[in-house]
Structures are given as C-alpha cells and as structure tokens.
C-alpha cells in the first residue's frame, strides 16, 4: 500500500495489519527536511511512533519532482537526513529511503536499451542514483502506459499498452517486447546503468488506467489493463526475465475532486462510495 503523506488516522488504522507501506513525504515538506533536526522529528513522529506495529517498507521522499522544480534541490538532502534519522532509530536496515519519479525524466526511452536521463535530468538524478546504490534502496518509478499511448497514438498501439498484443511488437537487439509497460521499465533500467546504478532495482510505485474521461479511458480498457498487469508482473521484463516486479496500483479510490483533466478523477479501483468498479480482477 502507498500513502502520500503521514496521515495519522491512516497510520493508526494500519497498526497490526502487516500491510507493507510506502510512506510519502509531500513535496511541500522537502525543504524543511533538509534540516537534520526536523528530519529526525519527522521520523520520530511518523515512523518510530508506529513501528513495528505498522510495516513500513519504503519512504518516498517527494513524488515526481522535476529537475526544473525549485524543490528538486531539496530531494537528496532530505533523503539523506531521513536515512540518517532512521539509522539513529535502528531502523536503517529495515526501511529503505527513495524518491518517486515519472517517465518524464527519460530523455530517451526508445528503444529501451538506449534509455537515458539526458543532460538536464542527469544533474538531478545521478547523485540520487548514487545514494540508492550505496544504501541498497530501489528507485520508485511511476509507470503509465496510458499516458504514453494517448501522447502518441499514431505510433503506439493500444493493444501494446493493454498487454493484449499477440506476439512481438518490436525487437530491441535480442530482446522482444510485447507490451509497453516492460518497455518503459527497461528504459529506466538502461538509464540507471548509464547513470552508474546498475545494481539499483526498480519498484513500480504507481501504475493504472482511467475508466473514463478521454480517448481509450473506458471501464473495459481499465479492467483489461489491471487484469493483464497483475498476471504479468511476476514474469519480469525482457531485460530482467523471471524477476518479479514489485508493483503498486494507482489508485484505491476515484478522486472526484481532482483535476484538471477528467481522467485524473477516474483511476480508482473503487468509486468514492467504496463500491468496486471491476468484477473480474483477482489480486491473489
């Protein structure tokens, strides 16, 4: 499970459930956490106070912070301070510290073997990759084939985005790609290698498909995407065959007050009244 801020009521509800949790640090809090004492207080109040009753897995320090964002300068110092505060609380070996990024960091994603962050992104992400490699933490990546598809429908097939393509869609050297999800993940693996992070793993910290709002956003397509994704993630990618991918679905509920795009309100597995939107998806 992933939550995007340390909501105290949610953390209380998770006590004793053994649900593994990604706990987010909101982008607006990053600057304050560049002060070690503030980071220590944050860890004490939001992690130590609930551990081990709450099963924290990762701390996501910032979500989709862009290199051009003024907050980007705070991400790595905040990560380092959170890491040090966890170590001081004897939790450093149990809880990994990372940040969550989007595919916009990739300057090149096709073919996946040529994946790279590019000059602008590299200045921001390469020191973070070095930190992750040193601490043994994964990079958290938000992977959205839907947005890639609607951004380039002339060149990206819908069946490629939905895991329904019959056979190989394109060949990248010796690697055959049948779905867009794998292509995006492997492009990130290639970019990590180029940035000195060959040993850094990827955790898919968000992925989903909207059920209404724009082209291809339908209940049938969303159901197909989720069902096929769940069936696929244990298989790995062409670059990492047989290596199950830890993957988090976005989102639990529709967000009827979100925007501005209509699709942003319809990524939930459940409607706001807690009714399931899809009947043919099994999580077991």
pLDDT digit string, tens, across residues 53-78: 999 999 999 999 999 999 999 999 99
- Is 281's pLDDT higher than 90? no
pTM: 0.97
The phi-psi region of residue 196 (left if phi > 0; otherwise alpha if psi is between -120 and 50; otherwise beta) is left
7-52 confidence digits (pLDDT tens): 999 999 999 999 999 999 999 999 999 999 999 999 999 999 999 9
Question: Which tokens is 206 given?
Answer: 């968000």
Mean pLDDT of the chain: 97
Question: Reading across the β-sheet that carries 2-3, which strands appear in turn?
Answer: 2-3, 20-25, 55-63, 96-102, 139-142, 202-207, 247-249
pLDDT at res. 280: 82
Average pLDDT over residues 138-143: 99
What is the distance between the alpha carbons of residues 139 and 201, in angstroms, rounded to a whole number?
Answer: 6
pLDDT at position 259, please? Answer: 83
Q: Known catalytic residues?
A: 64, 206
Specify whether the CB–CB gap between 279 and 226 falls below 8 A. Answer: no
Backbone angles phi, psi at 48, to 5 degrees: -60, -40
CB contact at 8 A, 39 and 61: no
267, pLDDT greater than 80: yes
Residue 114 has what pLDDT? 98
State the burial class of residue 18 (Cβ atoms within 10 Å of its Cβ: 0-12, 13-18, 19+). Answer: exposed
Residue 283 has pLDDT above 90, yes or no: no
Q: What is the pLDDT of residues 180-223, one digit of tens each?
A: 999 999 999 999 999 999 999 999 999 999 999 998 999 999 99
Q: What is the predicted pLDDT for the residue at 185?
A: 99
pLDDT category of residue 83 using cuts at 50, 70 and 90: very high
Q: How far is C-alpha 5 from the chain's CA centre? A: 15
Listed in order, strand segments (DSSP E) in 55-191 are 55-63, 96-102, 139-142, 170-172, 175-177
- Every domain of the chain and the residues it spans: 2-265
Q: Which of 25, 74, 4 is nearest to 248 (CA)?
A: 4
Query: β-strands 175-177, 170-172: how paired?
Result: antiparallel
Instruction: Give backbone dihedrals phi and psi of 20, rounded to 5 degrees, phi first.
Output: -70, 140
Give the tens place of pLDDT for each residue, 104-120: 999 999 999 999 998 98
CATH architecture of 2-265: Alpha-Beta Barrel (3.20)
Check: CB of residue 215 under 8 Å from CB of residue 153.
yes
Please, which residues have CB within 8 angstroms of residue 103's CB and are 6 or more apart in sequence? 109, 141, 142, 143, 144, 147, 148, 184, 187, 188
Give residue 237's pLDDT: 99
pLDDT (0 to 100) of residue 256: 87
Q: Rounded to an integer, what distance in angstroms lies between the CA atom of residue 12 and that of residue 201? A: 30
């Amino acid at each position: 499970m992933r939550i995007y801020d340390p909501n105290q009521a949610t953390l209380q509800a998770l006590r004793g459930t053994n649900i593994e949790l990604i706990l987010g640090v909101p982008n607006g809090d990053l600057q304050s956490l560049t002060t070690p004492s503030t980071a220590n207080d944050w860890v004490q109040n939001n992690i130590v106070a609930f551990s081990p009753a709450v099963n924290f897995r990762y701390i996501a320090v910032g979500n989709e912070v862009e290199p051009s964002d003024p907050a980007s300068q705070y991400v790595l110092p905040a990560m380092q301070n959170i890491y040090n505060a966890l170590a001081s609380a004897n939790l450093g070996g149990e809880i990994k510290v990372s940040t969550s990024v989007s595919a916009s960091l990739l300057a090149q994603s096709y073919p996946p073997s040529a994946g790279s962050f590019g000059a602008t992104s590299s200045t921001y992400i390469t020191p973070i990759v070095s930190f992750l490699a040193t601490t043994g933490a994964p990079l958290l990546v938000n992977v959205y084939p839907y947005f890639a598809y609607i951004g380039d429908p002339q060149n990206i097939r819908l069946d490629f985005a939905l895991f329904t393509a019959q056979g190989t869609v394109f060949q990248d050297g010796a690697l055959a790609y049948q779905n867009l999800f794998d292509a995006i993940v492997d492009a990130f693996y290639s970019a990590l290698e180029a940035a000195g992070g060959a040993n850094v793993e990827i955790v898919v910290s968000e992925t989903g498909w909207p059920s209404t709002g724009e082209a291809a956003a339908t209940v049938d397509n969303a159901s197909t995407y989720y069902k096929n994704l769940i069936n696929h993630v244990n298989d790995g990618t062409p670059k990492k065959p047989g290596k199950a991918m830890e993957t988090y679905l976005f989102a639990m509920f529709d967000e009827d007050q979100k925007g501005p795009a209509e699709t942003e309100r319809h990524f939930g597995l459940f409607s706001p009244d807690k009714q399931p939107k899809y009947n043919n998806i099994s999580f077991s």
